[in-house]
Structure 1
Amino acid sequence: MSSYSQRTLLALFPGITQNDSKILKPEIASLKHLSWITTMTHAWKYSSVGGGLYTSWLNVTNIKLCPVTTGFMIQVQGPIVTLLTPFDRNGDIDWQAFKRYLASLYSWGVGTVIANGTTAEFASLTIDERRQVIEFVRKHFAGTIINNVSATCVKDVRELIDETQDRADLLLILPPYYYSAREDNGLCRFFSDALSETPLPAMLYHFPQHTGNFVGVDLVAMLLDRGISIQGIKDSSGDLDNALLYRSNFPGMPVFLGNDEKAFEVLQKGLTGSVTGAANPLPELLITLQAEFRSCPAKAQSIQRCLDTWNAFRQASGHPEIPLVKAAMGARIAGFPPHVRAPFMPIPNAQLDQIRTVIHTCLNDFQRLVSR
């Protein structure tokens, strides 16, 4: 395993001082033990030398790509939109609708998407369909792409990772599901077997309501200790306190929370941003909320209230999120197919107008707010 000398580190990262580089002893600076996680102007280094997690703050400026355990780490900023998978009436992927959808998201300002995620109904897609989806998204979306490679079989995960190379910027992976309440050692074995020596860094995907397994801070530390390249954490538990535990234990780790009702509070508490499936029809609200948060927090909070009109409607509708969001997309993209695969059921046609009226109301309120 190769390592970075002090001279090499100083050459790679001009912002590192001589004193900073002295911290990086050869055994610490090996690729086995060191990863870099960047923000706009700073980097954190993580190392697991001597049995404990070691962090140190470095003033490293103007870094776009940084060395990690394997490959390079790319900067990810919120909000992240989790993609839908459009289907036609027969349940086949509607590629023309998919192309229009991706173009619309990009034109609305979406910079980062997750392909083959929960919102995409990945559990209802074949391995081959998931390969086709990531290939298609790479071809038709110019932003940052995160591909969900989750599966219960390590060999399937590795196959999905192989198909992700040159098509996505990061991996996203859940713990194994069905076999629930597994101990950290078993989960660590799964993640290590799946992610070791992969060419792309990964984001851990915490969604215990669906997996029955908990991605806790001890497990994350175990993975870092094994040299697994972790880019960040997508916490879809909806539990802000849990996301804050990630932040406090791994201060430089990007943490995204999936809870649209708390998008403003997520930023208040210092998390990286939001990840959303439900706001697919309204991504401009989350994008502008995050952009305005520091310069005009009162406006950002008002945007949260605009989004909460849709959030409240979703909660009161009694419909599962995925069919509801697909129905709502018709308010933004004419002819967007509302079809879903089993076990979901499509929204009745009689309710489509009501759903889309809510989207138009949110957009109108948002546009009046930002035009002031």
Structure 2
Amino acid sequence: MNIVTGSTTALITPFKNGKLDEQAYADLIKRQINNGINAVCPVGTTGESATLSSDEDRRCMEIAVEVCKGTNTKVLAGAGSNSTSEAILAAKNAQECGVDAIFSVAPYYVKPSQEGLYQHYKAIADSVPELPFMLYNVPGRTVVDISADTVIRLFDEVTNIYGIKEATGSLERTVELLSRRPELKVFSGDDAIDYPILANGGAGITSVTSNLMPDLKSELVKLALAGDFAGAKAINDKLYPLNSVMFCEANPMPIKAAMYIAGLIETLEYRLPLTAPSLESMKKIEEVMKNYEIKGL
């Protein structure tokens, strides 16, 4: 099984006149490739997946696969739902598009038990047994936490489940998981703590900020995985103000605004119920961005 690790970017989805801006999307992916990102992640939280149609979902994945073909950058696509049957369809759809691996967010709103989470993930992974599969734990969004016991049970019993994107904000959770299963691939899902997770044995990151700064984020991961923890920490520290302001409002509102301010997307459009950040937040984002060199397309 050819798993995906390293630096990965949770791609924004650019819109123009209410529709997916396919050319802008392809250009953003090319920029990620040119700046050394190991994998791009279409249709995740940052990509406003909750407001995309199934056709748009598929098109985003198709474009990512097309652009990354023949490069060293892989496609780690989102394939999750609060309905197990819908998540299975999403996983099969991703497989048909030719993605390299998928990650699947914990089922939100329904608040399943740990047994329900186990059965949910087992059913999805079993539906695409040849496709590398990552769990995605983000309790702040889903109101359910995939416990360490459940993660380990899934890792031990389901062949293609190889890792987890941990967005609990808890370093202790990463320490627990890797102390119990060192071979589990743990990804940082919180930009501010990329370095400490990697230094503790994490295998990669899935970043929001790397939409804007793929060069520094890819270098941070490269250094950490090579054992240069001082170098990785220096980059993590340098990026802290930017990582922080990217969450001054709900993701992906700030990062998309930052991409627009930087001239990386032509239009600043969201899908309702998401809207542009407040004027106060926009000023904060602009001020912080002045301290960084942002590479163009």
TM-score (norm 2): 0.88
Residues 1:149 and 2:79 are matched in the alignment: yes
- Gap change, CA 1:338 and 1:348, over 3 Å in 2: farther
Contact 1:254 1:272 in 2 (8 A): yes
Query: How big is the shift at 1:351?
Result: 6.9
Identify the residue that residue 5 of structure 2 maps to in structure 1: 77
Identify the residue that residue 35 of structure 2 maps to in structure 1: 108
> How far apart, CA to CA, are the structure 1 residues paired with 2:27 and 2:144?
36
Identify the residue that residue 283 of structure 1 maps to in structure 2: 214
Contact 2:125 2:161 in 1 (8 A): no
Residues 1:255 and 2:182 are matched in the alignment: no
> How far apart, CA to CA, are the structure 1 residues paired with 2:144 and 2:280?
39
Identify the residue that residue 171 of structure 1 maps to in structure 2: 102
Contact 1:101 1:333 in 2 (8 A): no
Residues 1:326 and 2:245 are matched in the alignment: no
Query: Which of structures 1 and 2 has the bigger CA Rg?
Result: 1
Residues 1:184 and 2:114 are matched in the alignment: yes
The partner residue of 1:337 within 243, 264, 267 is 267
Contact 1:263 1:286 in 2 (8 A): no
- Gap change, CA 1:100 and 1:360, over 3 Å in 2: farther
Residues 1:120 and 2:120 are matched in the alignment: no
1:314-341 CA distance string (max 9 Å, x none): 45xx433312111111354444432111
The partner residue of 2:245 within 310, 313, 325 is 313
1:92-142 CA distance string (max 9 Å, x none): 111121111111111111121111101001111122211111111111224
Query: How big is the shift at 1:176?
Result: 1.7
- Gap change, CA 1:309 and 1:126, over 3 Å in 2: same
Residue type of the alignment partner of 1:306: K
> How far apart, CA to CA, are the structure 1 residues paired with 2:198 and 2:227?
13
Query: How big is the shift at 1:223?
Result: 2.5
Contact 1:289 1:300 in 2 (8 A): yes
After superposing the two structures, state which structure 1 stretch, 96-105 or 156-165, moved more. Answer: 156-165
**Larger relative contact order (CA 8 Å, sep ≥ 6):** 2
- Gap change, CA 1:342 and 1:159, over 3 Å in 2: same
For residues 201-350 of structure 1, what are the structure 2 equivalents within 5 Å? Answer: 201-293=132-224, 294=226, 296-314=228-246, 318-347=248-277
> How far apart, CA to CA, are the structure 1 residues paired with 2:227 and 2:135?
31
Query: How big is the shift at 1:295?
Result: 5.7
**Structure 2 stretches lacking a partner, 5+ long:** none
- Gap change, CA 1:333 and 1:102, over 3 Å in 2: farther
Query: How big is the shift at 1:303?
Result: 1.5
Contact 1:174 1:207 in 2 (8 A): yes
Contact 1:285 1:303 in 2 (8 A): yes
> How far apart, CA to CA, are the structure 2 residues paired with 1:229 and 1:351?
41
User: Superposition RMSD on alpha carbons, in Å?
Assistant: 2.4
TM-score (norm 1): 0.71
Query: How big is the shift at 1:246?
Result: 1.6
SS in 2 for 1:79: strand
- Gap change, CA 1:144 and 1:183, over 3 Å in 2: same
- Gap change, CA 1:194 and 1:296, over 3 Å in 2: closer
SS in 1 for 2:210: coil
SS in 1 for 2:76: strand
- Gap change, CA 1:221 and 1:312, over 3 Å in 2: closer
Contact 2:4 2:101 in 1 (8 A): no
> How far apart, CA to CA, are the structure 2 residues paired with 1:138 and 1:291?
23
**Structure 1 stretches lacking a partner, 5+ long:** 1-72, 367-372
Contact 1:331 1:360 in 2 (8 A): no
- Gap change, CA 1:321 and 1:136, over 3 Å in 2: same
Residue type of the alignment partner of 2:142: T
Q: Which has the higher helix share?
A: 2
Query: How big is the shift at 1:226?
Result: 3.9
